[in-house]
Amino acid sequence: MTAMLGELPTWKLEDLYSSPTGTDVENDLKRATADAQAFAKDYEGKVAGLDGKALGAAIARFEALTDLMGRLGSYAQLYYAQNMADPERGRFSQNVSEALNEATAKLVFFRLEMNKIEDGDLAARMKEPALAKYAPWLRDVRLFRPHDLSDELEKYIHDQSVVGSSAWSRLFDETIARLRYPFRDEVLTEPQILDKLSNKDAAVRRDAAKSFGKVQGDNIAVFSLITNTLIKDKEIDDRWRKYPRPQSFRNLANVVEDEVVDALVSSVKSAYPRLAHRYYKLKAKWFGVDKMPYWDRNAPLPEHDDRVIPWAEAEKIVLDAYNAFSPELAAVGKKFFGTGWIDAPARPGKSPGAFAHPTVPSAHPYLLLNYQGKVRDVMTLAHELGHGVHQVLAARQGALMADTPLTLAETASVFGEMLTFQSLLKSAPDKSTRKAMLAGKVEDMLNTVVRQIAFYDFESRLHTARRQGELTPEAIGEVWMAVQSESLGPAFTFDEEYRHYWSYIGHFIHSPFYVYAYAFGDCLVNSLYAAYQSGQSDFQTKYLDMLRAGGVKRHKELLAPFGLDASDPAFWDKGLGVISGFVDELEKL
């Protein structure tokens, strides 16, 4: 298989630090600690008395510290992600995390003291350009003013996190990384066994699904304990901070109104029948059955392109698609190849799935894939490269304002996928290939929109139920089965082991309620792409400006140049209509 894929790239982490034992890591950790102490000495208890120019200078120092500590933290995380089953890597990552936690504890006062400045007073100081530069960051920091606790409590929560929620998250990661799944005469890792669920052979899909469900079931007590503990930890935090509901923190962090998220969720749930139910009924018909077993959800059609796509070809496909849209976008994308910015091979112990890590503006992003040569892997490359390009373009906003709210963080990634898909679709040689490609795209969109909103619904139900007491693995499994049946529809049968499938989804652990961002991004991109196809003037320029904005602007400001408004309920129906239109075409084919 490796020979067929060609030479796969791996990370060059030396762009950040020479090695885990390098003096540069040790020196920067010492510098971060010393700089944090000096910052606290200069400003603690004095922020309220700073004029606009002095406050701007303080924030600039804080930003430089954020970049330095972000570089250290990124290096530790990426080094660990390369082999999460290696205890030495785990130890290094935890030690860096603890050292950084100790240093950042000295900075907790800064945000709290800024939030105690009255609005009118801050507005007067904002006339100073050195402070006005940071207006978007201050705006977002001050969103949390009503939820701040006392200085002492905030410092305690900060210190305690390394042995609290972070430790439970690490336990989840290391448990998943160490699990092995028997498959015929092989023993596979999580990414390898899950890859079998899209195999062309039904017997392979069945055996893989059964093995995966059994191993998850054998470990379900651990996953249930982690989930129960983290949900309770969040409930305590939410109660003290007076968040009205479990989703409130995530929505505030995403700088999106509760009612906008509610409108998205409501639109998608009401569209389940005309999207997922209708498509999977059609798929069952293609397979010659009334009902499919759950392991056929991602089964390829007989016409599916199942060739192995070498890495070099995947790179060309994606960059050509980006270039046809915008040579400038493709030029940024090209920086990721041949430079050690991508880690592509699937290896035992490696972090599963795929991600784009922005690191810090003074460095560059890193992409992680588990590339196995499928068309879906090419789409994953297009997706993560979109994130990477977005992160490169937004870096000019600096360490405090480069990060995009999650609701917009998926825009460039999903748009990159759409560009690549449309490019491949144009080159489809015949009707049956077009049908298979459309079906694959519809399934990806259903996984991004319907499946992720079902995940959000699952989380919402769990967080509500947990407030009445600890949930047994059986109770969690019941909620999972109910949500899956509702979202996927009557075309599936679910065997007993499927009730354990919730337990491998890391977003529930690391970022509660993150998942709706995927649906937000997909529907938003569908509307954006429709504007592009309609020949909207200067679309590429507006699009690149949107990516460059990072976290400086909110969704209303960013979408206004395209004539789009996410707070309008009809906006979501327009995005969902694109998926529905693809299903219409498949019904005709």
Average pLDDT over residues 248-271: 92
Residue 373 has pLDDT above 70, yes or no: yes
The CATH number assigned to the domain holding 172 equals: 1.10.1370.20
Tell me the residue range of the domain where 72 lies.
Answer: 13-150
Q: Say if 363 falls within a structural domain.
A: no
Which pLDDT tens digit goes with each residue over 100-130?
Answer: 999 999 999 999 999 999 999 999 999 999 9
The CATH number assigned to the domain holding 127 equals: 1.20.140.70
Residue 561 is predicted with a pLDDT of 95
171/139 same-domain check: no
Which pLDDT tens digit goes with each residue over 558-588?
Answer: 999 999 988 887 889 888 999 999 999 999 8
Residue 281 is predicted with a pLDDT of 97
3-state secondary structure 181-226: EEECCEEECHHHHHHHHHCCCHHHHHHHHHHHHHHHHHCHHHHHHH
List C-alpha distances in Å: 414 to 288, 313, 441, 444. Answer: 32, 20, 12, 10
The pLDDT > 90 percentage for the chain reads 85
Average pLDDT over residues 171-182: 95
Which pLDDT tens digit goes with each residue over 16-53?
Answer: 999 999 999 999 999 999 999 999 999 999 999 999 99
Average pLDDT over residues 351-366: 95
Residue 82 is predicted with a pLDDT of 97
Q: Say if 288 falls within a structural domain.
A: yes
Q: Say if 129 falls within a structural domain.
A: yes
Q: Angle formed by the axes of helices 52-81 and 23-43, to 10°?
A: 150
Q: Say if 29 falls within a structural domain.
A: yes
Of residues 2 and 216, which shows the higher confidence score?
216
Which pLDDT tens digit goes with each residue over 494-532?
Answer: 999 999 999 999 999 999 999 998 899 899 999 999 889
Cross-strand partners of 292: 492
Which pLDDT tens digit goes with each residue over 449-488?
Answer: 999 999 999 999 999 999 999 999 999 999 999 999 999 9
3-state secondary structure 99-164: HHHHHHHCCHHHHHHHHCCCHHHHHHHCCCHHHHCCHHHHHHHHHHHHHCCCHHHHHHHHHHHHHC
414/471 same-domain check: yes
168/96 same-domain check: no
When divided into structural domains, the chain yields a total of 2
- How, if at all, do strands 366-368 and 355-357 pair? antiparallel
Residue 452 is predicted with a pLDDT of 97
143/233 same-domain check: no
Determine the Cα–Cα distance for residues 265 and 457; give it in Å rounded to an integer.
8
Q: Say if 521 falls within a structural domain.
A: yes
Q: Say if 99 falls within a structural domain.
A: yes
Place of tokens 């460039």: 412
412/271 same-domain check: yes
106/168 same-domain check: no
Residue 433 is predicted with a pLDDT of 83
Residue 1 has pLDDT above 80, yes or no: no
Residue 302 has pLDDT above 80, yes or no: no
Q: Read off the pLDDT band of 247 (50, 70, 90).
A: very high
Structure tokens at 59: 């924030």
Q: Say if 366 falls within a structural domain.
A: no
